[in-house]
Amino acid sequence: MTQESPLKMWTPQEVQARWQAEPDLLLLDVRTEPEWNAYHIPGATLLPMQVITTRLNELDPHRETIVLCEHGVRSMRVARFLVEQARFENVGNMLGGMSEWEGPVEQG
C-alpha cells in the first residue's frame, strides 16, 4: 500500500481558482527580489529560496501553502523541503511557475 504524498501539484489555472476562492491560501513566491519587483501575484508573499531555512519561522506549517517561482523548478525544491524536512502538512507547487501565470500581476 502506497502512502499519498502530502505535496500537491497545481497548474497556474488551478492556483488562480483556489486563490480566488480561499482567502487564507498562502502563495509563497520564492524568486529573487528583482524578479518579484518585475511582477508578482497581488497578495503573494516573497520569501526567496536562499533564505527559506533561516526564515522558516515566518511560515505556518499548518496553513495551506502553494509555492511558486518563475518556471516551477526552485518552487519544487522548496516545496519538497517544506514537506520532507520541515514537516509542513499542506504544500503545493505551481507547475510552470510565473511564466505560465495568466492571472493578475502587479509590479514593485
Active site residues: 69
**Cβ pair 31, 46 in contact under 8 A:** yes
User: What is the distance between the alpha carbons of residues 63 and 65, in angstroms, rounded to a whole number?
Assistant: 6
DSSP per residue, 23-83: TT-EEEE-S-HHHHHH-B-TT-EE--GGGTTTSGGGS-TTS-EEEE-SSSHHHHHHHHHHH
Place of cell 503545493: 92
